[in-house]
């Protein structure tokens, strides 16, 4: 990959703040699909339509991180805001937190452990909340109120790195009575749901 030409001496100096983080655009789709395949080779290749929803839908957002010298993504995050249906019946109760689902998150191995996934998560959450205030799918009261943000994601039970990451940002694993499996390439994988509140954007 082009970015691998950065020397390891240079890389060791990089901190999360030095990466460029920007919204996915249509010309990134091919590269970000390739990135996802590189990050999770065991997963089915994501179809272009998965990424197209982030280009058009105000309740969905995909951010990519690049080196300043390149347009190629070294990391990405895809999030969506959960659209509640209970707003018609719970007018007298406190507003629920805005729930953000993390659909994909990954950083190339050479760029890990410098806070990039953490920065992407906080940036995406803040950006999506702002975007969602204009989304007709969400009641304005829900998105403009100073409600907290709750993050939700599913992670492979065997992925100790991802589980350590979610623990680091304060999410708790939800124990389910029955094992939680989801359809995966070549069969099913055992997943753990993680969820919890997250502080406002760092
Ligand atoms: C999980 C992943 C996104 C983390 O990316 P990252 O940029 O390295 O994460 P950060 O640097 O923000 O890590 C924050 C904290 O998470 C924890 N963490 C991250 N990777 C870890 C590891 N390999 N072992 C133990 N703890 C780890 C640490 O507490 C870390 O803080 P520290 O570096 O100060 O100790 C990355 O490893 C990855 O892309 N994995 C493959 C794809 C994947 O599994 N995605 C699923 C996520 S749902």
**Domains defined for the chain, CATH in brackets:** 2-85+96-147 (3.40.630.30)
- Whether pLDDT at 100 is above 90: yes
Measured in Å, residue 162 CA sits from the centre of ligand 1 at 6
SS3 call for 193 = strand
Which two tokens mark 99?
């729930």
Residues 77, 117: Cα–Cα separation, whole Å: 8
Q: Give the ligand 1 atom nearest the CA of 106.
A: 39
Residue nearest to atom 38 of ligand 1 (CA): 106
Per residue in 6-25, pLDDT (tens digit) is 666 666 677 878 899 999 99
Write down the pLDDT at residue 108: 96
**Residue 81 near residue 132 (C-beta atoms within 8 A):** yes
Q: Which has more confidence, 39 or 17?
A: 39
Write down the pLDDT at residue 202: 41
Per residue in 101-142, pLDDT (tens digit) is 999 999 999 999 999 999 999 999 999 988 887 777 776 666
* Confidence grade of residue 191 (pLDDT, cut at 50, 70, 90): confident
Q: Which residues pair with 184 in a beta bridge?
A: 187
Mean pLDDT estimate for the chain: 84
- The mean pLDDT of 165-192, rounded to a whole number, is 77
**Residue 188 near residue 182 (C-beta atoms within 8 A):** yes
Per residue in 61-83, pLDDT (tens digit) is 999 999 999 999 999 999 999 87
DSSP assigned state of 48: H
Cα separations (Å) of 65 from 62, 145, 173, 195? Answer: 10, 29, 27, 24
User: Does ligand 1 come within 6 angstroms of the Cβ of 118?
Assistant: yes
Residues 108, 90: Cα–Cα separation, whole Å: 43
User: Does ligand 1 come within 6 angstroms of the Cβ of 194?
Assistant: no
Write down the pLDDT at residue 28: 96
Write down the pLDDT at residue 11: 66
Residues 9, 152: Cα–Cα separation, whole Å: 36
Residue nearest to atom 44 of ligand 1 (CA): 162
Q: Which has more confidence, 41 or 105?
A: 105
């Amino acid at each position: 990959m082009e970015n691998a030409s950065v020397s390891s001496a240079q890389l060791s100096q990089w901190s999360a703040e030095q990466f460029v983080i920007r919204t996915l655009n249509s010309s990134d789709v091919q590269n970000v699909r390739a990135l996802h395949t590189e990050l999770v080779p065991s997963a089915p290749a994501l179809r272009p339509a998965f990424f197209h929803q982030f280009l058009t839908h105000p309740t969905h957002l995909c951010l990519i991180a690049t080196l300043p010298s390149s347009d190629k993504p070294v990391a990405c995050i895809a999030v969506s805001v959960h659209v509640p249906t209970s707003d018609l019946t719970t007018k007298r109760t406190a507003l629920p937190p805005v729930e953000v689902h993390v659909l994909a998150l990954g950083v190339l191995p050479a760029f890990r452990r410098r806070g990039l996934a953490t920065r992407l998560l906080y940036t995406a959450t803040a950006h999506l909340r702002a975007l969602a205030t204009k989304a007709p799918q969400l009641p304005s009261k829900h998105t403009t109120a100073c409600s907290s943000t709750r993050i939700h994601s599913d992670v492979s039970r065997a992925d100790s790195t991802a589980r350590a990451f979610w623990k680091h940002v304060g999410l708790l694993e939800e124990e389910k009575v029955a094992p939680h499996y989801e359809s995966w390439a070549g069969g099913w994988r055992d997943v753990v749901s993680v969820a919890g509140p997250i502080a406002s954007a760092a």
